[in-house]
Every structure is written in C-alpha cells, then in structure tokens.
Structure 1
Amino acid sequence: MADSGSKIGEDDEVPGRVKEYLCQPCLSKDQETVADKFCSTCNEFQCNDCSNVHNMLAILKSHKLVSVNKADFASISVKMKALDLCDQHQHSFEFFCEDEKKLCCSKCAIVNHRKCHSVVEIEKIAGNITSPISTLGEKLKEAKEAAESVARHIHSSKDQLAQDIKEIHVKIRRMRDEVMKMFADLEDSVNKRAETLQKETLENLTKKQTQNEKDLADVTSCLETIESIFKNGTPVQKYIAEQKMESNVKEECQSLETVNISFQFDETIKLPPLPVTEYVPGQLQLNFHHQGDVNFVYMMIKLTPVSSIDLKKTGDDIDEPFYTGIDFLPDGRLVAVDNKNGKCLVYNEKLEKVGSYQLPYKPFSVVVVSEEEVAITCGNGYNIELLHVSKFNEITARRTCKVTTKYCSICLKDDRQFVVGTYDYPRPVRIVSLTGEEHDFDVNFPNKIYTIDTSACTYIKSSDKVVITDRNKHTVYIYDIKTDTRVVVKDDQIQDPRGAAVGPSDTILLCCRKTNTIVQISQRGQVLSSYKIDIENPFTVCVSRDKSFIVVTSSSVGTTKMQKFKIST
C-alpha cells in the first residue's frame, strides 16, 4: 500500500543490496520517485523535493525528518484509512471466515458466522500471507479497472434510464396523437356517412310530401263531386267513392315514419367511464437486462465422483426406495427421506447407512435446520415435521407444524423461516416459520398451479432470490425479491429440471433428468457448465456447507442410485 511506502526489489533480496522506498506524495500523483527522507510526524517517505516543503512552511518546521537509511521502521505505522473497519459495525476486523471467504469483526463472527466451520483469528493466519507486493499490486489494478468498468456501466445505465423515461413521454404523446387522429378520422367518416343518409332520407321525404300535396289537391277538387255523389248518386257510386277515399288515406298514414340517426361505439374500442387513475390503457414496466458481468468470472465447477451406492429394497421395505429429499448435516453426514417407504435415513461421509426412522406419512423433501435438527415436508398432507438427529445417528420426532398449504420442496430462508415450494396452490412458493406461520412473498408471481413433482425451489440468501424449476416447460425462473423482477432461463442443456441447490459462488446447480446432467447456471441465467453423471434420471441434489461436495439421487425404477461428487474449479 502507498501509505507505508512501496519497496523496490523487496521480493528478490540480495545480500548487500540497499532497499529503496518510493516517495508517497509523488505516488499520490501517479509518479514513482525514490524517497530520500522519512518524516516520522507525517509517517511517510518523501523525496528531497517533497521534504523541502518542511523548510518553507512554519507549521511543518517542527516535524522530524531523517534519512531513509536511519529511519526506525519498527515505529512506522500504516494508515489503513478505515480498510480495517467493518462497514456494518465500524469495529476492527479480528476474524476471517474461511468458509465464506469474508473478514469479520467480533459482532459479525457472532451474528453472521456462528454456524460456519472455520472462523479463525486474523493474527494467527496473517503470517501465512506470501503474496509479493507485485501480485497484490496487480490485484489492486484489476480491482480498480473493474470498479471503473462498473462506474462506466452505472453512468451508462443512468443515461439510458433518462432516455427511456424521455421515450415514454414521447410514446404516450405519439399514442395520444394517433388516438386523436383516429377519432378525427372517425368523426370525418361518420359525418360524411350521416350527410349521405340525411340526403337520401330528405329526398324520400320530399317525394312523399309532393305526393301528399297532390293527393290533398285532388281531394279538395273532388269534394264537390263527392258531395254530389253522396247526395244524388246511386248506392254503387257512393260505395266506390267511399272506398277510394279511405284507401288513399290509409296508404298515406301507414307509410308515415319517423327518422332519427345515432352512433354506437363498437365494444372492442369502447372505453369504460373511469378516470385514468382507475383505468390505465397500458402498463409501466421496469425491466433489468444484464449484458454480462463486468470483470467478473464465475466459478465454473468440475465434479469428480467420490462414492456411489445402489438404493435397493431391504427386508423392512415395502417398495423400491425413492429418495425425494437429501441434505448435508453440518458435520458432513447426510440425511435423506424415502418417499416410497416413509423413512428418514442418515448416511456417513462414505455413504454408509448409519441410522433409520420410520415415519407415519409419505415424506417428500428435507432440510437441515441446525446441527441436530431437520425439517421434512409431507407429500400427502398439511404438515411440516421437525426431527432430532443426534450425533449418534438416533432419530426422534420433535414437533409437528400444522399448515394450510401442500408443500413439496423446502430450504432455509434464515434461522427462523423456510422457503417452501407448493403444489395445488396458485402461488409457487411461500414462507413458513419454524412455528408454522405461513405468508407469501411480495412478488408478482404468475398465476400458475403446479402439481406435485412438477416444480422445485431453492433460495439464495446473499442476494434474496428465489429459484423455481418448471420441468414441463424446461425452464428455470430466478426471482429477485427486492426488485420484483425475474430472469427466465431456457437453454437446450436444461431439459426436465428437477431439484435445485445453491453451489459455489452462489451459482445454481440443477438436476436435469432428461439429459442425466448437473447443470450450473449463474444468478443472471448464464449456463456456466454441464456435467454428465453416471446416474439415470437425477432427481434431487444437495451441497455441503463448505461447498466442497454434492450428492445426487436418481428416480429411475430398478436402478436407483445415490452418488457423491467432489467439487473443484
């Protein structure tokens, strides 16, 4: 670090060689100048030009300057500039979590890392650092370039956001103008048609009016004749005259009609009589498009088989075993549930069965809650069972949580809550507490009901994301709970996805039944790797706490297996 004065040639010390230190004020200006002096008051190395400032300013004349060769390096302290402080608690870093590769203060170690296996004091491992300054410098340079790339990306995103907002206004105005033009054209068209109808109707009415006037004149002129007929005519003449007049009057009266004209909107374009606050003819959407990671390389895994066993029917089994749920205990043992035979089982690190417990229901999934407690979902009921698994592989029932929804897959959200996959329910995942209280995520999930064994879920704690597999659509959905957005992952390598688990670097591992593979994808939906395994129809997968092993089970009738793999990169 520049605060302590960089040494030139310290990684290849040769007897007789004099160590040189760089001037720290010059370094702050991206200049490399050999230091001649050390100011114990400023606690920094300086070249002659920079140290001469002490003679120019009265406030600096009391500082103690010595030659670099006479500097007391034991008294030189490094300015950490808050690098040694926890951002959350503002306490000094005292521990390092080797499981999660994170620096911890005393509070972090207690609150966030108490379940981790290896949390060590920094003082005990600090002497093991062997990276030369040049290597650290390269890493810092890479970090700086990455930060600059992120800054450029953020700046570009802000500009793009402003442009998108501007385009929304333009789009709405354009839509308004197009709607107004549509109504103007409609008005013009309807007016022309109305004028045509008016002209045709008026012509008909004028004809009728002319005929009526003629009939009226004829009647008037014939009044004397008719009167004479009725006074002096024969009965036949009177009858003919009467019928003639009644006929003319009836025809005219029967042909009378009232004309009106109106316009009715087609229902497909009729707008409801609501204010725009209640009826919005459109939807504002916020979409996140990831163009790729900025200077970040995901940890692409490799799997090496360690051990494998065939799951066969034993003396007390009713059916062939079908392990629908597995999870690692903190000490490396494995807990599994057999759906067909209603069992909870414990295996050691060599996949040797060391414990078994008969359940009164058909279990479906299992998750390890603590060092000696597991939770199991009931595949045909409304229960979540909690069992105690001792260090001596003894399994006993603890308590039952009564729930109102049918659950299949289950994983931990935090120390007090589960994330559970549902079936026969309109929301694919829910949250259930250790005491059985149920509530939903504040996420706009599609209104789709999954049947049992058509979907599974897992949860990424570090980023608050829920992963849901849809085996019928060969699709994986990654929901960001904080932003209520999702990534839809479809790829030829993802076929009939079943179980899912969180792997190294918080990537997602999927069992793909149709291709007999374990597929690794990033949280942004990028397919990172695909590993062909010697298991037909892989069904469920779990990852050890230290992310160094996975175990996979199959659902193939007659050739059911459970296999353990070592994870490497």
Structure 2
Amino acid sequence: MATPTKDTENFDDLLTCTICLETFKVPKYLPCLHTFCETCINTYIVSSVEKGKITEGFTCPVCRKIVSAGATLERPELWAPSLPSNHFVTSMLDKRAIQKAEKMCNSCLLNKEKTKAKSWCTICEEAFCEQCEKCHKNFKMSARHKLLNIEEMQSGVTPFKVCEVQSCEEHPGKTVEFYCLDHSQSCCTSCATLSHRKCENVTSIQEAASGSKQSKAANDLSEKLTEHFGQLNEIIENRNTNLANVENSIEEIEIRVSNMKTEILKHIDKLEETMKVELTSTKKQVGIKLKDEIDVCVSYKSAVKNWKDMFDSVLNHGSEQQCLMEINKIEPKISDLEREMIDLKKNIKKISVVFSPSSPIADLKTFGCIKVDESPDSKVTGMLEISNIDFRTGNIKILQVIDVCKSSGTSSGIFIQNYLLFTIRQQNKVVKYNFDGKSLLSQLLLPNAPEDIATLVQFKVAVSSTRKEVYIVDSDKMTLLQTFTFKFIQVYGLSCVNEKQFIIGSSDKLTWINIPSGEKMDERKTSSDSNFVLSLGKHDYIYGTNRNSVNYSVGCSTKFTYTNNKLALPRGIGVDIVGNLYIAGCNSANIHQITNEGNLIRIIPATTVGIENPWTIRFAPSSNKFIVTSLISGKASICEII
C-alpha cells in the first residue's frame, strides 16, 4: 500500500474542519476564507438561528466575522448549500486519497459501489476504475480528456497538479476559461458572454495566469501575509504581557494592603474587604478590556494564518490559475485588514494599575485609591509609525548632535534599553547619555582605550580595546564585570552573535569568541582591513575587505561583495529594521545604503547626518532612529529616517 508523501502529511490542519475536527466532507468557504464541512456549517447556522443569535447573518465560528445571509434570510437551511465550494481543498483531499491508495472510482460511488480507482481525469477531476475509464473514453465529449495513471501518481513518476480546472463561482456547472483584465475577474463562457461582453481586455485564463506564481503580486501578497501575521503575533504577545503585568500588579497591591492591615485597628478588616472588592472589580474590568483586544487580534491572526496557509499551499501545489484566483480573493481582504489594524493600533493603550496608599495611618479611612492608567503603548504604536516609513527613499532628519569627546577624538556608540552608550578612545571611557542625547548620565573608566561597543543581552555590553582586550560592562550600574585578554589577536571592531558569542575584527581575520570562557571558537582569514564586522545571524556576517568594498558571508561562503569607487575606507556597518545595510565610508565622507543582496540603494553624504569622517553607524532596535559617530571630531549625531 502506498504511503502518504511528505507533501500531504503537512496539510492535515488545512484539510481538517475546525468544527467536527475531521477531514472535510463537501468543503464550503465563507467570505473570510475559513472553510468548513457543508453539514457542519449548516448545523452551526441553524443552531444559531434557533438560539436567536442571527438577525441579518451569522458569525464565522473561527474569526467571528459577520457573514450576510443575503436573499436566503428566511430559510437558514439554504445558507450552507449556497456557499461557494472550496475546489482547492477538494483537490487536495483527492490528492491525499490518491497518494494513500484510498481513492475509489467516482462513477461507481454514484451507484453505491466501491471500486478501487485506476486513473484520474485532469479535466473532470474524477477518478475511474478500469471499466469506467473505458466508458469515459467512449464518449465524444470526454474522449480527448487527459487521464493519468494513479499508480504512477503515487510513485511520483507522474506529477499531480491541484486544481488545473476551476469551476465558475457564478455558474457552478461551468469551468473557468477566460479572464477579464478590465475587472480582474475570472469568467466562464456564460460570464464572458453576459457580464463581460463589452469589456475590451478578455483573454484566456491560461494566458492571464501564466507566471502568476512567480509574479510580483504573488510575492508581495506572500510578504504582506507574513508581515501581518508577525505583527499580530507581536500585538498578541504585547497584550498578554500587559495582562500578566496587570495581574502581577494586583497581587503586589494585595500584599501591600495585607502588610498595612497589621498596623491598624480591627475596623480595618472592613476597609480591607472593601479594597479587595474594588481590586477584584478593577482586575475584572481591565482583564475584560485586554482580553477583548486579544480576542480581536486572535481573530485577525486566525484569518491571516488561514489566508497564508491557503496561499502557501497554492504556491507550492496549486496551478497558475488557482494562484491568480487566490490573489484576487485575498488582496481585497488584506486592504480591509490593514485599515482595521491601523484603527486597532491607534486605540491600543498601555494599561497599568496604580496604588496610592493613604497616610497617615492614624487618620486612615481607606487604604488608598485605585485608578487605571492608560497611555499609548510605544511598542505597538511604534509598529504603526515605522510601517509607514520607506527606509529606502525616506528623508534623514538630524535630531541631536552630541559632543561626546569634547571637540576631538574617536568614538563608537549604541542604543541600549532607554540609553545611549559611547566609547571615547582618547579618554579610556564609556559614557552613558539619555535616549535623546541631551544629558550625560554617568561614565566608566576602563583599563585601556576602548574601540567598539556592542550589546550582549539586556544591559550587558561588550567593549573592545586595541590593547588586545574585550571588557564586559553592566551599562545599568556602569560597572566592569569581566575582562578577556587575547595574546595573539589585535582587537578593533566587534559584534555580538548572541549572548554567548561575539565576533572580533582585526586587520586580516575575524575571530569568534565564547562567553564566558573567552575561548576562540572559530576563525576566518580575510584579505585586509576587516577591522569592523556586523553579525546578522548565527552564520551571516558582513565586514570590510579592502579600501573600497565589503564582503557578506554565510558560513564559509560569500553571498556577495559590494564594491564602489565612491566608497573609501569602509568602517562601521549598520542594519535597519527592514534589513537594509549601511556602510560608513570614513575617507569618502558618505554612507552607502545597500540591500541585503548587495545592490546600491543610495549614497548618503556625511553632511546629511552632520558628521565628518563617519566611523560607526547603529540603529535603535525596532526603530527608525540611528546614530553616526566620527573618527576625528568627537561628535555623534542622532538621526531618524522619516
């Protein structure tokens, strides 16, 4: 017996009804694109009517989107049969049945007989036994239909393309043969004759769909789905964290109230009880609000996941026609989703519970007051602001120029938490500023001259020194935690791979160092001048290779080498939130912005960022803000792309 291929094993979720949790039987899909068995969704609709939950439509059982009943309002039992069939899912079910050697002859099943199928008609999308296959070939209308051997399909000799032929949604008895470019709509012969007879650009579905899986529209849609799925995950995680923080705050307040209880007289028992009731009420109110926001995001996420799973399946297993049709189905819903997400993000508030104890205790009439404080959540609203920025064409605005070294010197800098950290080579210092760079908060004297600085985890940073040392510093308390000394490695720039590993650059090599042992884990020889390096992942890194080029490597392989005669002495390298790379050309007095494929986007003059001889460039996490430091002037510039 044939076993299911890896292909179909991964589609159990896609082929399972979320109501009955069994494989689809007559799959029907709603306008939100969630699919259910016809009998399951029919039972759900009728049950909702009986409970009085339906007035002009019903809600999707998964994402709660409202589905209009249309003309069949008075007869709910007709709603489910009138829903469009999901031909793609039906074809995937056929494919799985064929690969599992479970496919029975469709003609025999009509006569309540079970006969193992031998062939598959790609036009009728039906399986036939040997006898029915002969009959199928004897009819003039089906004599030229292409039949595939099921055993060959199971073995992989003959490929199985899902949904080569599509049924018209307007006229289910007819197949889609044309495509109206004027209305971006697929048509059967009836549609083309009746609805699109005056349209000028009607072509065959094959011609219109040609190349759609590799088209920019398909690629853009896939990227949008991935992006929105990720954003919704972040919002849900943010809301869950906020909910947990609120619950923790409530618990802490209860503990404080219990401690105060021992300091006052017996009548405080009543006040305590009153306060607990208020706390419980507040917790309930805040919990309902946050859970409502989470439920909305979960419903959006469910819709996006369903669209993404379906579209990824089409890209991997569907035909060109199916891809085009899915694009037409999903793209309008993406626009609606984007508008709804913008409204959602604008209205999201950071919720916290604040307790103000009464004082003095002798005059106590209540423990204190409870209030719910709501303020815009910068993490979420930041997503909205950044999503509207074009990092490749956006203007650069200087926010603040800081005289880090007091008129002359070399520095490197990073954003960490809500602070800015800079090294000062000539003064053997690390200095800490507030996030806007307007106030010097503290400083730390190091044993030797610092060169570069990189974030390890939370407040921990690594600082390199040309005296063959790397220092681990707690930037919160501004204390030196650990010193690594390397006898044979000249240390210049460094970049952290993760909290347990960093890369250091020297003139002709890159070296990977383990934390906390300080042992060398790996080493790569370079051509020359690889003093600064940027880690882009566990195996990806980019570094300067000579006087006017940089090299992007993945492991031991080179992904690309970027060379430009307008780039001189490449030093610090930064990366923005969307993956564009920025190379500080120290001697060419410019910054080269390139894609992560090595293509030049634009050359930014150093004067644009207010810095001569740019030395390092670093972006704030999840932000459009960045800092550029100088080799000579001792200044650092805080900028943003708008």
Query: Scaled by the length of structure 1, what TM-score is found?
Result: 0.48
- Structure 1 or 2, whichever has the larger Rg, is 1
Higher relative helix content: 2
Query: Scaled by the length of structure 2, what TM-score is found?
Result: 0.43
